Chains A and B, each alone.
Chain A
Amino acid sequence: MPAGHDTATSPATQRLNNALREAGLAALISAGLSFPILALGAEPDINNQLALQTRWSWMFAAIIIIACARFFAVMLDGWRARTLAMAGLLCAAFGFGTWYFAGIAEPKIVGGTIVAGLIAMLAAFPIDTSESRASIAAKAPARPATILSSTATSLIATAGIGALIAFPLAMLWWFGSAGSLKWINNYGIQILIFVMLGWGLNIVVGLAGLLDLGYVAFYAVGAYAYALLATQFDLSFWICLPLAGIMAAFWGILLGFPVLRLRGDYLALVTLAFGEIIHLVLTNWSDLTNGEAGILSIPRVTFFGVPFTAGEGGFAHLFGLEFSPIHRTIFLFYLILALALITNFATLRLRRLPIGRAWEALREDEIACRSLGINTTNTKLTAFALGAMFGGFAGSFFAVRQGFINPNSFTFMESAWILAIVVLGGMGSQIGVALAAIVMVGGTEALRELDFLKQLFGQDFNPVQYRMLIFGLAMVVMMIWRPRGFVSTRTPSIFLKERKAVAADLVGEGYG
């Protein structure tokens, strides 16, 4: 450790003192945070009386981890060194935890992780010194933002779409018909639904700058529209899909009218309230929606009329394949891929039309728009209606995929997810939204894979419940790290000579 010995107040000593003081403070604060809520627990006993449990070890573990983290944050400058130290800390904590909390006395695991963690933490210091020296030596000048040429963009887009089309078949080939279900369904379809919802909301929030916290309402309208039309009137999915979109768009306009007068956070709250009202009505209007129980046995998707069933007349029989439930899943994948791509191409085209430019102008400065003859009422309503329509499409896809729906799929959390995807992706950026959906939905799906931790921490340990915990924390961290999202620059919709990206700090965020 670089500690000076010559004088009492050399910079290194000072820094160490400072770091120790900060770590002590962090320990004190974390003690205050964790004292009642972490250190004490209460579980009802047989008489339904709460019995107090103490978990001091949890509290001390939290204090030590936080204090160490603070210590490293003060001592280390470079991000590589910090990352390494934090990883080492977590690694050591994990090793210790398996031994102390889970009671696993596997010396290889426990000793190995603790030692590796300690080494990583110690190694962070020399790395930090060299890293900071290197960063002083080579201070790269900030490059102006560039945009790929249109040929490169279209090449990448084609390659991406090609990869997506190949995805389910590759999975099928790689994992077999049973093993690929998880990849195509949980990752592929789930992510694509959120990509589509993100793109739909992007019209409202990203382009028009209208903050909508109740987008899930349109998703719900789409889903219930399909479910009710299909179960009550026996209409096929292909007829219901456009109807569901139109209904959602209608609701979008209905919501749009009153909220036109509102701006900023107030608009956000009214849309939130609207989303909640829809949710409550779906829950309580049992005659129509069957309440909490939801709508069961919604007709499943067919291959343009050919059902995915075993035996005579089914898809497999018709095409001479061996029956497998994966056929339907693959078809659903292509269906949502097509819907998402339609959303994308429509949005890209809209951006180059007067309405799209008016949306962006509205986001930049509404008053200026009015001085240029733009009917802001109609412009906002169009944004709401189109965004809602794509939400409705996604909703009816959701219903046909699930086969049953209930109000619990359409809570505020869903709206928060979709909005987080749009903001994290970078408002207005199509590719950013897609990336954010992959990271967020894929990431939380991947947390389900942590089931192996059960073997370490015992069967009571449920990694899935940490999903939302990590998700919430990730939202905070990502906002601090990139408040304007992954793709923060704006691509102009038209150019004379050269398409230059517009820097993030110039792009408006909308106040409507």
Chain B
Amino acid sequence: MRWQSDPLLHVEHLTMRFGGILAVNDLSFTAGRGDITALIGPNGAGKTTVFNCITGFYKPTQGRIAFARDGRADETDVAALTQTARRHARMASGDIYLLERMPDFEISGKAKVARTFQNIRLFQGMTVLENLIVAQHNPLMQASGWTVLGLLGVGPYRARERDAIEKAKFWLNKINLLERADDAAGDLPYGDQRRLEIARAMCMDPVLLCLDEPAAGLNPRETGDLNTLLCMLRDEQNTSLLLIEHDMNVVMQISDHVVVLDYGTKIADGAPAAIRSDPRVIAAYLGVADEDEAQAVAGERAGERT
């Protein structure tokens, strides 16, 4: 139960409203350090909205998202930080970030929360290698003396760039794309693009990696590879994962903790085995109450099979 004993992400009373639509309603959950946490739910349940709030692309209407990058987020520390106008504090127990106060690029750059996208967002016209180098923008920017030294050709930039290439090669090796390093990312097959997007996010050395439907559109063999890759990220790289996934094989096999959303509200939260037998989850997915819902579920099922 690491999400209770050692959580790194606290989502508390998160609410997101778009005009009259309540996309996420008073959602609270935690994600454990070193866990693979799955966020599941029928289409339109608000999962991607939660991701967008965590990674700063949306400003939540209400709620707090506390992130303990490298320590325990002590209740009193977080409360103390919330009282101030600051986004970040270095507490005795480690760095704490209030993600809902931070712009998106700082969440990824400083708090080290990386993400991938449902509809892959690679830099299609740049090569595979360039994609991975761009992901190391901030350290390289520093090494180039914020461009000034780099432009003059002095400073440690050359060496740091070589290190960046080494790191890129390491990840290309992990996802079996080293041979295609000099090809345009847009030329890769779909499954490779999905893996490359994960590798690109990993080049930022994230503490928490949010994956939005990483298995969508993959064939069974590729899904198996993905499972292995994700477990490797957790076990060897000590990266905590938060993933949205429709493929129950992936969810049940690899996740340590499952949070179920329906209509923007949390309906279940627990270990995979417990979720599998939770009557509310079954109702939400098989939706017996009314016809509309049953149809939505049928559509959902069709989505899962692909």
Interface contact B169-A496, CB-CB below 8 Å: yes
Give the Cβ gap from A380 to chain B, nearest Cβ, in Å. 12
| B129 contacts across to A, CB distance below 8 A | 492, 494-496
Interface contact B137-A506, CB-CB below 8 Å: no
Most buried by B among A364, A495, A498: A364
Give the Cβ gap from B163 to chain A, nearest Cβ, in Å. 13
Q: Which residue of A lies closest to B121 (CB)?
A: A368
| B29 contacts across to A, CB distance below 8 A | none
Tell whether B186 is near chain A: CB-to-CB under 8 Å. yes
Tell whether A186 is near chain B: CB-to-CB under 8 Å. no
Q: Which residue of B lies closest to A345 (CB)?
A: B151
User: Given B56, B115, B137, B200, which contacts A357 in the complex, CB threshold below 8 Å?
Assistant: B137
| B130 contacts across to A, CB distance below 8 A | 357, 360, 492-494
- Cα-based distance from A361 to B165 in the complex (angstroms): 17
Give the Cβ gap from B141 to chain A, nearest Cβ, in Å. 4
| A364 contacts across to B, CB distance below 8 A | 123-126
Cβ < 8 Å to A, chain B residues 122-148: 122-127, 129-130, 133-135, 137-138, 140-141, 144, 147
| A368 contacts across to B, CB distance below 8 A | 117, 121-123
| A367 contacts across to B, CB distance below 8 A | 57, 117, 121
Most buried by A among B55, B126, B127: B126
Interface contact A374-B182, CB-CB below 8 Å: no
- Asked, given contacts A496-B129, A502-B127, whether A349 binds B121 with beta carbons under 8 Å apart, the answer is no
Tell whether B39 is near chain A: CB-to-CB under 8 Å. no
Tell whether A30 is near chain B: CB-to-CB under 8 Å. no
Q: Which residue of B lies closest to A504 (CB)?
A: B125
User: Given A350, A370, A498, which contacts B104 in the complex, CB threshold below 8 Å?
Assistant: A370
| A375 contacts across to B, CB distance below 8 A | 105, 109
| A502 contacts across to B, CB distance below 8 A | 125-127, 184
Tell whether A497 is near chain B: CB-to-CB under 8 Å. yes
Tell whether B70 is near chain A: CB-to-CB under 8 Å. no
| A492 contacts across to B, CB distance below 8 A | 126-127, 129-130, 182
Interface contact B134-A496, CB-CB below 8 Å: no
Tell whether B204 is near chain A: CB-to-CB under 8 Å. yes
Tell whether A371 is near chain B: CB-to-CB under 8 Å. yes
Interface contact B141-A355, CB-CB below 8 Å: yes
Tell whether B207 is near chain A: CB-to-CB under 8 Å. no
- Cα-based distance from A375 to B105 in the complex (angstroms): 6
Tell whether A346 is near chain B: CB-to-CB under 8 Å. yes
User: Given B55, B157, B182, which contacts A500 in the complex, CB threshold below 8 Å?
Assistant: B182
| A495 contacts across to B, CB distance below 8 A | 127, 129, 181-182
Interface contact B137-A371, CB-CB below 8 Å: no
Chain B interface, number of residues (Cβ within 8 angstroms): 46
Q: Mark A478-512, 1 if CB is under 8 A from B, else 0.
A: 00000000000010111111111011001110000
Interface contact B182-A373, CB-CB below 8 Å: no
- Asked, given contacts A370-B57, A495-B129, A496-B165, whether A360 binds B151 with beta carbons under 8 Å apart, the answer is no
Q: Which residue of B lies closest to A365 (CB)?
A: B121
| A350 contacts across to B, CB distance below 8 A | 147, 151
Give the Cβ gap from A463 to chain B, nearest Cβ, in Å. 42
Tell whether A161 is near chain B: CB-to-CB under 8 Å. no
Interface contact A507-B125, CB-CB below 8 Å: yes
Tell whether A107 is near chain B: CB-to-CB under 8 Å. no
Tell whether A343 is near chain B: CB-to-CB under 8 Å. no
Give the Cβ gap from B152 to chain A, nearest Cβ, in Å. 9
Interface contact A355-B133, CB-CB below 8 Å: no
Tell whether A429 is near chain B: CB-to-CB under 8 Å. no
User: Given B55, B141, B184, which contacts A371 in the complex, CB threshold below 8 Å?
Assistant: B55
Tell whether A296 is near chain B: CB-to-CB under 8 Å. no
Most buried by A among B115, B122, B138, B182: B182
Give the Cβ gap from B237 to chain A, nearest Cβ, in Å. 17
Give the Cβ gap from A504 to chain B, nearest Cβ, in Å. 9
| B222 contacts across to A, CB distance below 8 A | none
Cβ < 8 Å to B, chain A residues 351-380: 353-355, 357-358, 360-361, 363-365, 367-376
Interface contact A506-B184, CB-CB below 8 Å: yes
- Cα-based distance from A463 to B283 in the complex (angstroms): 81
Give the Cβ gap from A134 to chain B, nearest Cβ, in Å. 33
Q: Report which B residues bind A (CB closer than 8 A).
A: 55-57, 104-106, 108-110, 114-115, 117, 121-127, 129-130, 133-135, 137-138, 140-141, 144, 147, 150-151, 153, 157, 161, 165, 169, 181-184, 186-187, 200-201, 204
Given A353-B144, A357-B137; 6 other pairs, CB 8 A cutoff: A360-B125, A361-B134, A371-B104, A371-B117, A492-B182, A503-B187
Q: Report which A residues bind B (CB closer than 8 A).
A: 346, 349-350, 353-355, 357-358, 360-361, 363-365, 367-376, 382, 490, 492-500, 502-503, 506-508
The 8 A-B pairs of least Cβ separation, nearest first, read A373-B109, A507-B125, A364-B123, A506-B186, A368-B121, A354-B140, A373-B108, A502-B184
A-B CB contact pairs (8 Å), 19 listed: A349-B153, A350-B147, A361-B126, A364-B124, A369-B134, A371-B108, A371-B117, A372-B134, A373-B137, A490-B125, A490-B126, A494-B165, A495-B182, A496-B169, A496-B182, A498-B182, A499-B182, A500-B183, A506-B186
